Structure 1
Amino acid sequence: MNEQNTTNVDIPLVQWFPGHMTKARRLIEENLKLVDIVVELLDSRIPLSSSNPIITSLVGNKPHIIVLNKADLSDPVITHEWLEFYKRMGKTAIAIDSVKGKNLKELTQAIGQLTQKQTGKFAAHGAKPRNARAMIVGIPNVGKSSLINRLSNTIAAKTENRPGVTRAKQWIRISKNIDLLDMPGLLWPKFDDPTVGLRLAFSGAINDDIFDKEQVARLLLAYLQEHYPSALLNRFKLEELPEDTNELFELIGKKRGCLVKGGHIDEEKVVTIIFTDFRSGKLGRISLEAPSA
C-alpha cells in the first residue's frame, strides 16, 4: 500500500479496545454459522485501516462482500482505485453512501447473487427457497446502523455518531428475500502500525477522549496541507497556505474567531473545527490512503 508521511513529527500511539469488544467478537464467532454471507462495511476514506484482521480471519471461505461506505466523503478517483484493487483480488466490492442510499440496490442484488447456491438448496428438494441470511460487520462508527435503516426503511438499528453504540445482535428484514444480522462494531486489540490507529482517530472510529486531540488534529492538518491544499484554501478562505502546520493551525483559529482573552487562540475550538469539517465532508472529498499500483 502507498504509505505517505503524515508529518515529520512522531506518530502517537493510539489504541482503543473497550471491554464490550470481546463480547462483540464472541457474538460474531457464535453466529457466523447461521448466515450465508458476510457484508463487511469499511470506511471508503481508509479501506485498509478500517479492515479488521479479526473479521478477515473469522470469515474464512464464507461468501464475503466488501462495502466502501461514506463514498460521498472520499476522493472519487481513489475510491475507484480501491474498487479496481478488490476486483483484481477476486473480491466483490461496492462503494455506497448509506445516508443518501446510493448504490444500495447494487448491494442487495450482490447479496442475492452470491447466496443463490445456499438459498436454492431448499427449492431443489421441493421446498420454498428461504431468505438469504447476511451478517453485517465492521469497526465502530463506520455507518452500519445508517445502512440498515436505509435498507429496511425503518429505524431498526440505533444510530448515533459515537463509536460503540450497537452492542447486541439484531435480525432485520431488508427485503422480501434477505434477512440481515447486525453485529456490534469490532476493533482489534492492538494496531501494529501506528498509522492505522491515527487514521482511525482521524475518521472518528476511535473515541476522541482516549487520545491527545490537539496533537492528532495537527497531524490531520499536516496531511491535508500536503495532499489536499486546495481543500484548506477553499474551506477557510485563505489566499495561500503557510508551510508550517502550527502557523496554519493559528491562522484557522483567527479566521474562525476562536480567540480568548489576550488575543490567543482557543486550541480546543480549532481542534473541533478541524475534526468536524473533515468528518462531515465540509472540507471536500478526501481519502487518507490509496492502494498500491
Structure 2
Amino acid sequence: MIQWFPGHMAKARRILQENAPLVDVVLEIVDARCPLASRNPDLMALVAHKPQVLILNKADLADPAATRLWVERLNEPGRPAVALDAVRGTGAREVLAAIRRAFAPVLRAWTAKGRKPRPARVMAVGIPNVGKSSAINRLVGARRAPVGDKPGVTRGKQWIRIGKDVELLDMPGILVPKFEDQRDGLLLAATGAIKDEVFDQREVANHLLHLIWESLGAAVAERYGLTRLDPEPVANLEAIGRFRGLLRAGEQVDLDAAAQLVLREFREGRLGRVTLQPPDPPPGGE
C-alpha cells in the first residue's frame, strides 16, 4: 500500500487554509499524464468558493490528443482548464488570460466601491512534483520559485509578482492523507509525486511498463531489449537489467537499479509522450 503524508504537508494544509481569504483566484496545477489522480479534492474543498483556473501541466510529456480531450472534459463554467508546457511556454499566455478573466468580476466590485484598482491575488496549489514551481517560473518569465525533480521542494509560502497586475502566492505541494484507490497511488509514484523511498520501486516500475506498453511498446522494446512483457514482474526487470548492463558481482542483475532506470527515464520523457490516465471516450463515440 502506498501512502505518504509527512508532517510538513499537514502544516502546509493549515497555511493554505489561513491564506485562502487573502486571494481572489486559485490556480490548481495537475499532471497532464494523470489529471484525476493528481488532483486533491480535500485541498480544493478549502477554496471551493474562489474562482479557479485548472492547469494541466507537463503537457510536453503527455499524449497531445489525450490532453486536448482532458481539457475539454475538465473545462467548466467558472473554472477553465488550460494545458501548459512549462518547458517551452506553450499555454502560458492562455493561463494568464484565464486568471485575468476570473479576476475581472472581483476587480469590478472592488473599484465600484471607489477603491483604486489592484493586482489580482492568486494562489497556486497542487500535489508535490506536478511542476508547480516550473509553471510559476514560466508565467513569471524568470526563475523565481525553487525548482526540483523531487516532491516537497517548496516548503513555505512566498509571494511572486507576475507583471503589473498579478501577485501569486506559491504554496507547498500537498497530497491527500489517504488514497481511496491504490491505482492513484501507483500513478503518482510512477510520475514522481511520492518519494521513491516510501514505495516498492520494482512493483511500480512493472506496473508502469504494462500501462505504457500499448502506446510506447516499440520505444520500450528498443530501449530495454524487450519483445514482450512477461506476466512475471521480476522477469521484465531481469531482462531490462541484463540488456542495460545493470549487473552485480556474479553477473546477477540489480533489479532495484533496473526499476529505478525505468522510472527515471519515464519521468524524463525518454520513452515518449504518454498519458497514464486516458480520458473516457466521448458519449456516443463522437
Normalised by the length of structure 2, the TM-score is: 0.92
For 1:67 and 1:180, the matched residues in 2 are separated by 15
Partner Cα separation in structure 2 for residue 30 and residue 182 of structure 1: 14
2:228 counterpart residue number: 241
Which of 88, 103, 109 pairs up with 1:115? 103
Equivalent residue, structure 2, for 1:177 = 165
2:133 aligned with 1:145, yes or no? yes
Q: What is the aligned-residue RMSD (CA, Å)?
A: 1.8
- Partner Cα distance (1:250, 1:225) in 2: 17
Q: Say if 1:117 and 1:88 are closer, same or farther in 2 by CA, change over 3 A.
A: closer
Please name the residue that 1:254 is paired with: 242
Structure 1 residues 139-288: aligned runs within 5 Å: 139-236=127-224, 240-244=227-231, 245-288=233-276
**Distance (Å, rounded) in 1 between the aligned partners of 2:142 and 2:159:** 13
Deviation of 1:84 after TM superposition, in Å, equals 1.3
- Counterpart of 1:74 in structure 2 is 62
1:101 partnered with 2:89:
yes
Distance, in Å, in 2 between the alignment partners of 1:95 and 1:228 is 22
**Residue deviations 1:144-171 (CA, integer Å, cap 9, x gap):** 1112222223332221211112111111
Return 5+ residue gaps in structure 2 as ranges.
282-286
1:103-131: per-residue Cα shift (whole Å, max 9, x none)? 10110011001110112233334443111
Separation (CA, whole Å) in 2 of partners of 1:254 and 1:89? 52
Per-residue deviation, 1:80: 1.3
Structure 1 contact 96–104 (Cα < 8 Å) conserved: yes
Match of 1:84 among 72, 90, 111: 72
CA distance in 2, matches of 1:91, 1:122: 21
Identity of aligned pairs, percent? 46
SS of 2:5 mapped into structure 1: coil
Other structure's SS at 2:95 match? helix
> Alpha-carbon deviation of 1:246?
3.5
| Alignment counterpart, residue 29 of structure 1, candidates 12, 17, 37 | 17
Q: TM-score scaled to structure 1, two decimals?
A: 0.90
Structure 2 residue aligned with 1:4: none
4+ runs deviating over 4 angstroms? none
List per-residue Cα deviations over 1:260-282 (Å, max 9, x = no partner). 22222111221121011110100
Q: How many residues align?
A: 280
Secondary structure of the equivalent of 2:20? helix
